[in-house]
Structure 1
Amino acid sequence: MKTFNVPVIYRSPLISAIKNQRKQQDRMKKDFTPTELDFGPIKIKLARHFGFCYGVENAIEIAFKTVDENPDKRIFLLSEMIHNPHVNNDLLDRGVQFIMDTAGHQLVPWESLQADDIVIIPAFGTTLETERKLASLGIEPLKYNTTCPFVERVWNKADQIGKKNYTVIVHGKPKHEETRATFSHSQAGTPTVVVKDIKEAALLAEFITGQRAPEEFNDLFKGQYSPGFNPSTDLQRVGVVNQTTMLATETQAIADYIRQVMVTHFQLTEATAGERFADTRDTLCYATNDNQTAVTGMLLEPADLAIVVGGYNSSNTSHLVELCEEKLPTYFISSPEKMLSANAIDHWDFHHSQEIKSQEFLPDQPTVTILLTSGASCPDALVEGVIRRLLSFYQLEHKADEMALID
């Protein structure tokens, strides 16, 4: 796989050494057990896969290269480059301006842009409407495009099934930048509706089967369907794609559920199911799959707690937290500094969208075992920082350079 020129401030020699060793031992990525770092009173078990993915490194390389090569131009990002505050703040410090926030609210008026300004499309991609707006201002919309190739793969899949007269069901968070972009590209060619979870998928199924009146659709899926969407005619043939960072098991459950509804309602067989349900396969990116599977493997190990590092508005990171929370006390932090002491930690409660403080997060016992992972937009340098911060609570920070890796 291609390697990228990512700023050294995001790299960690320590984490790179660990990842390289695991790669040598497991070239086919079949071993999802964590790497154990044994420091005596504290043991840290690192997930097999975590941190920057292909799409994130690609976006970072393009963005920083663009800044370096255009010192005399105004440079804008449509919105956050990725969902990591450290990377976004570094770009802001370099003079880059964000045109919109993550919810799509305007921060820089369109009319203030000039034809010779540089506008970078973030890794999530953007809507066709925004592309047209940039073009109308004389700005080539795709010249500085960092859209993740795996996001574009979803768009291509939606386009393929749309041309075969299937309606596209997008499993995603309706307000997320990537889902908004995927929805825009899909609805340009075929009726499209977004479902955020299995509950909404079940609700949509009631329109497929006729259990709900079509008149109810507009209110129940407000803001989540394409113009002119008609539940009576547009749910006869469907296919499911997804925001690339969703929980893999939920996407699969939604696809399986909708497929079974179509089979049952239209009295299909396994051989004829394709007449009503498009086989889109899984449209999650490889990193989402690997990171989630690595967390599943990590959770098979005995431990006292889990720490997940990443941006608080990062979808892929929140799903790693969700997996960990099913088994262990879990702390979602954006940086090492959130661990205030061995007794206090500030961490994100994504269920209620607020940062909370917990006391005595490290158990008072002779040996503590911690599971550690990070999201796909989190620099490895932050993971190393978390390790060093944890070790400092045991006066063992010097051990970070002398780690013993135990397979």
Structure 2
Amino acid sequence: MKKFNVPGVYRSSIISAIKSKRKEADKLKKDFSPTLLDFGPLQIFLARHFGFCYGVENAIEIAFRTIDENPGKRIFLLSEMIHNPQVNADLLNRGVHFLQDTKGKPLVDFDELSADDIVIIPAFGTTLSIEGKLNKIGITTEKYNTTCPFVEKVWNRSEQIAGKGYTIVVHGKPSHEETRATFSHSAANAPTVVVNDMDDAVKLAKYITREKPLADFYVEFEGRYSEGFLVERDLQKVGVVNQTTMLASDTQAISDFLKELMVQYFNLTDANIDERFADTRDTLCYATNDNQTAVMGLLETPADLAVVVGGYNSSNTSHLVELCEEKLPTFYIDSADKILSKKEILHYNFHSKQELHTVEYLPSDEPVRILITSGASCPDAVVEAVIRKFVSFYEVDRTVEEILSYFE
């Protein structure tokens, strides 16, 4: 896989050595067991896969190269580059300005832009409407487009099945930048509707089977269907694609549910299922799959608590938290600074959208066993800082550097 030129401040020699050693021993990525860092009274288990993915590294490289190659020019980011506070803060400190917030609310009026300005499209991609606005101003988007190739893969797959007459069902968070972008590209080629979860899929199914009045669809899915959508016509033949950072198992479950529904309702067989349902399993992102599968492997290890590191508005990170919460106490933090002491921690509850303060979060009995993973937009350097913070609380048998020697 391509190597990217990412600022060294985001790298960690410790994490890089661990990942390199694991990759060397498991080239086919069949071993999802965690890596043990045994400090004696503290045992840290690192997920097999975590941190920057291909799309994130690609976006960071393009963004920082753009800044370096264009001194004196006004450079804008359409919205956050990725959902990581450190990376976005670094870009702002380099003079980059955001045009919108993550919900699409304007921060800078497009009328203030000129053809001499540079606008970087973030890793999530953007809508055709926004691309059109920028192009009309004279701003070319191709050169500074950091859209993740795996997001574009979803768009391309949507276009392919649209060409065969399928309606596109997008599994994603309706307000998320990537879902808005995918919806826009899909809706340009086919009738499209967004479902947030299985509950939405069940609601949609009732319109396919005519169990609910078709007119109710336009109320229940308001703002989430394409212009000109006709329920009686556009739910006869469907394919499911996803926001690449959703839980892969959730997307698969929604796809399987709708497939079985079509089989039952239209009396289909394996031989003719494609008359009503498109197989789109190939749209699931490799990094999403790897990171989530690694967390499942991580959770097989007996532990006292889990720590998930990443931006609080990161969809892929929140899903890792969701998986961990099913098994044990989980603390979602965006930096080592949130670990206030051995007794106190600040952590985010993504359900209530609140940062919480918890005391006595570490058990008193030793060894303390902590599971650690991070989101796809979290720098490895942040994970290293978290490890070092926990290590500082104990009279450890060996240092971080001594542990590192095992992986060199």
Same fold (TM over 0.5): yes
Q: Identify the residue that residue 363 of structure 1 maps to in structure 2.
A: 363
C-alpha distance in 1 between matches for 2:211 and 2:190: 24
Q: Which residue of 2 aligns with 1:232?
A: 232
Query: What SS does structure 1 have at the residue aligned with 2:105?
Result: coil
- What SS does the corresponding residue of 2:399 show, helix, strand or coil? helix
**Whole-Å separation in 1 of the counterparts to 2:15 and 2:171:** 33
Q: Is the 8 A contact 2:252 2:281 kept in 1?
A: no
Alpha-carbon distance in structure 2 between the residues aligned to 1:176 and 1:107: 17
Q: Distance in 2 between matches of 1:39 and 1:307?
A: 17
AA at the equivalent of 1:338: K
Q: Judge conservation of contact 1:98–1:108 (CA < 8 Å) in 2.
A: yes
Normalized against structure 2, the TM-score is what? 0.98
Equivalent AA in structure 1 for residue 103 of structure 2: A
1:262 counterpart residue number: 262
The 3-state SS of whatever aligns with 1:361 is: coil
Structure 2 Cα separation of the partners of residues 325 and 22 of structure 1:
26
Q: Aligned AA for 1:329?
A: P
Residue number in structure 1 paired with 2:49: 49
Q: Could you report, residue by residue, the CA deviation over 1:266-310 in whole angstroms, capped at 9, with x for unpaired residues?
A: 111111111000111241211110000000001011111000000
Q: More deviation in 237-246 or 358-367?
A: 358-367
Q: Secondary structure at the match of 1:76?
A: strand
Identity over aligned residues, as a percent? 65
The separation in 2 between residues aligned to 1:51 and 1:368, in whole angstroms, is 24
Q: Report the AA paired with residue 112 of structure 1.
A: E
One-letter identity of the residue aligned with 1:245: T
- Superposition pairs of residues 217-256 of structure 1, within 5 angstroms: 217-256=217-256
Name whichever of 321-330 and 134-143 sits farther off.
134-143
Consecutive unaligned residues of structure 1, counting only runs of 5 or more, are none
How big is the alpha-carbon RMSD for the aligned residues of Structure 1 and Structure 2? Answer: 1.1
**Structure 2 equivalent of residue 283 of structure 1:** 283
Give the aligned residue type for 1:75.
I
Per-residue deviation, 1:141: 2.2
AA at the equivalent of 2:289: N
Residue 129 of structure 1: aligned partner: 129
CA contact (8 A) 2:159 2:186 kept: yes
Letter in 1 for 2:273: A
Partner of 1:372: 372
Offset, 1:398: 7.4
Alignment match, 2:149:
149
Does 1:31 pair with 2:31?
yes
CA distance in 1, matches of 2:388, 2:127: 41
TM-score, with length taken from structure 1: 0.98
Q: Which residue of 1 aligns with 2:177?
A: 177
Which range moved further: 280-289 or 11-20?
280-289
Contact 1:246–1:284 (CA under 8 A) maintained in structure 2: no
Corresponding residue number in structure 2 for 1:67:
67
How far residue 143 of structure 1 moved from its aligned partner, in angstroms, is 2.2
Matched, 1:352 2:352: yes
Secondary structure of the corresponding residue to residue 303 of structure 1: coil
Once the two structures are overlaid, the 10-residue window that deviates more, 395-404 or 345-354, is 395-404
Counterpart-to-counterpart distance in 2, 1:53 and 1:40: 31
Aligned partner of 2:100 in structure 1 is 100
The answer to whether the Cα contact below 8 Å between 1:252 and 1:282 also exists between their aligned partners in 2 is no
Paired residues of 2:42 and 2:396 also in contact (CA < 8 A)? no
Amino acid at match of 2:372: L
Gaps of 5+ in 2: none
